Structure 1
Amino acid sequence: MAPMGIRLSPLGVAVFCLVGVGILYHLYAEVISSRLAAFRRKKNIDVRELLAASVEAAVLGGKEVKKVRAENSLKEKSKGKTKEGANELLTLGDLLSHRKMYNLLRNTFPEVTVISEEHDNLVDQAAVWSRVIPAEILDKIEGGKEVPAERVTVWIDPLDATQEYTENLVKYVTTMVCVAVDGKPVIGVIHQPFTGFTAWALVHQGSNMSVRSAYSVSPPKVIVSRSHSGKVRSYIHDAFGNSTAIIQAGGAGGHMTSLKGEDIDYSGTPLTKGGLVASVSVDHKAILGRLPNWDPDQQ
């Protein structure tokens, strides 16, 4: 007896294939749907993590700035004139700091808009946040507070005070990060590469800096940019009077010592006790000479 078999006509084969596709569709429709939903789901960003990553970006950018200055390989060139007529410079320090800061933040938070003062097409996939949150941030900032990624804009300045940087006036040089949510700044980070100090703050949550809530100075003192002052001087005099003291400064720097005139150790050990004195564009020693002795053990 000949073996029995099943033969399908071309029409039968087509029907079988269609049925098979239908079965596969029903089997995987739920999986596909759930994955598409996850893809469309809005990404939230933990604000404390964003602060920690911003601090790390500013610090790593600062290392690039410091390295270029130490090697004296600035390779400076002009980006053109500012509105005030000043020559706007770009150095290798600006560029390398930009690459480190921009790529670290962009790779860590790809859904967030990151805007830098500088522009460069080099993509560094290896630049990502270490996922380490500094102890002082853990201590002062509560975790678990999230915002939708599409509401966040990160602004970075890879090297502030470039003019002073080229003149080796490194005390003025900083790297900075500002994070805005819905167009309002909520995170600020200022790092001084040549001292190692980093100031940061998160609105309504905490900061590593002490801030006075109110103050009164008469006549007032105003700090203006050393290289981009423009018409600020006449504007300030018109607003506050000719007796207003106007101080020129570059970037966000300043001179800071202990009450005894000792340089501050930013390595973390030992802790500085006995108070601090900060000044910008004034005779720092003269100020120290007028300060009385103070016992840090007294309240």
Structure 2
Amino acid sequence: MAQTAPLIPRLVASSIAIANRAGEIIRNVMSKGDLGIVEKTGKNDLQTEADRSAQRCIITSLSKQFPSITIIGEEDEPSDSPVPSDWVVSEVDQDILRLECPDNLQQVSAEEVVVWVDPLDGTSEYTQGLLDHVTVLIGIAVGNRSVAGVIHQPYYNYQKENEPLGRTIWGIRGVGVGGFEPKAAPEGQRIITTTRSHSTPEVQATLDAMKPDNILRVGGAGHKVMLLIEGKAHAYVFASAGCKRWDTCAPEAILVALGGKLTDMHGKEYSYDKNTPFPNKGGVLATGKGENHEWYLEKVPEAIRKKLV
């Protein structure tokens, strides 16, 4: 069945198994105590041994199974870095292969696919022990659209006894989502999630204009979108250019597959083709299923909108 299924379901089925292994690697690095932290561009842009190792696991595994796809990872790693054999994943999630693929994704070729990888989203929080903020993101794009995504939470349930550690969720546009129980956000309130460590006056002014009842300041784009799909927040608002394509490709696909929306602050969807610039210069606005995305767009101050181009 694995070889007869269309490419996109096969990619998602493999990405689920690969993300699970990357999560184990992230936990193993933490358990050893030496995170191998380096600063990339500043104190809030860190890289750890877990970032580097998880990316090598993901990219090597995907490249071996799908040699003709384009893969773009966050971390700058030498291509000849040795990869332990037990990091190279060949397993797949058989349940995904049984799903009916929508017509528009049936005939996708490997050359049309770009996979965006953030091996450890929420690195700063990882180094500070805020482990529930950490995710592994594997986003799948066809042409310039994000069509499927996998989010793995290595530390899901880590504070609970006798519960399985870790969770992987997925979404495919036109198919649906899995791995979690979607929930609606509370009625009669406006709860917004935003950055924990990259706030600016523009970010705060935009939040103020939306008059939220509560603001959840957390790390990681994956974690923020998880708050939307689990009904803990109504919108994710980040009026800044600090996000990248590998931060949003997987979360966007899952959110849209569920009925939500993710755009920049002008209401434009981001392009995910292999030649697109990495930064999300227009900021990020994401809303959960049933939310009025246009209402949030209209509340963005015009002066701030003009800066995000």
Tell whether the structures are fold-level matches, with TM greater than 0.5: yes
SS of residue in 1 equivalent to 2:26: helix
Aligned equivalents of 1:92 and 1:158: distance in 2?
11
Is 2:218 the partner of 1:249? yes
| Residue 233 of structure 1, aligned match among 192, 200, 204 | 204
The TM-score, its normalising length taken from structure 1, stands at: 0.62
The aligned amino acid for 1:100 is C
Is 2:120 the partner of 1:159? yes
The Cα RMSD (Å) is 2.9
Aligned equivalents of 1:194 and 1:173: distance in 2?
7
Matched residue, 1:177: 138
Unaligned runs of 5+ in 2: 157-165, 234-309
Matched residue, 1:60: 21
> After superposition, what is the alpha-carbon deviation per residue over 1:56-80, rounded to whole angstroms, capped at 9, x for unaligned?
2211111111100011110111112
Deviates more, 1:67-76 or 1:132-141: 132-141
1:218, distance to aligned residue in structure 2 (A): 4.4
Matched residue, 1:100: 57
Identity of aligned residues (%): 31
Question: For the pair shown, which has the larger CA radius of gyration, 1 or 2?
Answer: 1
1:1-299 paired onto structure 2 within 5 Å: 46-81=7-42, 87-121=44-78, 122=81, 124=83, 126=85, 128-130=88-90, 132-142=91-101, 145-195=106-156, 196-208=166-178, 209-211=180-182, 217-230=187-200, 231-238=202-209, 240-241=210-211, 243-251=212-220, 252-253=222-223
Give yes or no for contact 1:103–1:123 (8 Å, CA) kept in 2.
no
Aligned equivalents of 2:176 and 2:97: distance in 1?
11
> After superposition, what is the alpha-carbon deviation per residue over 1:198-239, rounded to whole angstroms, capped at 9, x for unaligned?
110111012114446x8785442110121223332211223x
Aligned equivalents of 1:278 and 1:203: distance in 2?
20
1:190, distance to aligned residue in structure 2 (A): 0.7
Q: Which has the higher contact order (CA 8 A, sep 6+)?
A: 2
The aligned amino acid for 1:87 is N
Relative distance call for 1:236 and 1:71 in structure 2 (3 A) is same
The count of residues paired between Structure 1 and Structure 2 equals 208
Aligned equivalents of 2:93 and 2:168: distance in 1?
12
Aligned equivalents of 1:146 and 1:71: distance in 2?
45
> After superposition, what is the alpha-carbon deviation per residue over 1:62-108, rounded to whole angstroms, capped at 9, x for unaligned?
11111000111101111122xxxx52111111111111011111222
1:113, distance to aligned residue in structure 2 (A): 0.6
Relative distance call for 1:92 and 1:248 in structure 2 (3 A) is same
SS of residue in 2 equivalent to 1:147: coil
Aligned equivalents of 2:10 and 2:169: distance in 1?
16
Give yes or no for contact 1:237–1:244 (8 Å, CA) kept in 2.
no
Aligned equivalents of 2:10 and 2:25: distance in 1?
23
1:136, distance to aligned residue in structure 2 (A): 3.4
Aligned equivalents of 1:110 and 1:125: distance in 2?
19
Unaligned runs of 5+ in 1: 1-43, 257-276, 281-299
SS of residue in 2 equivalent to 1:79: strand
Aligned equivalents of 1:202 and 1:156: distance in 2?
16
The TM-score, its normalising length taken from structure 2, stands at: 0.60
SS of residue in 1 equivalent to 2:108: strand
Relative distance call for 1:146 and 1:73 in structure 2 (3 A) is farther
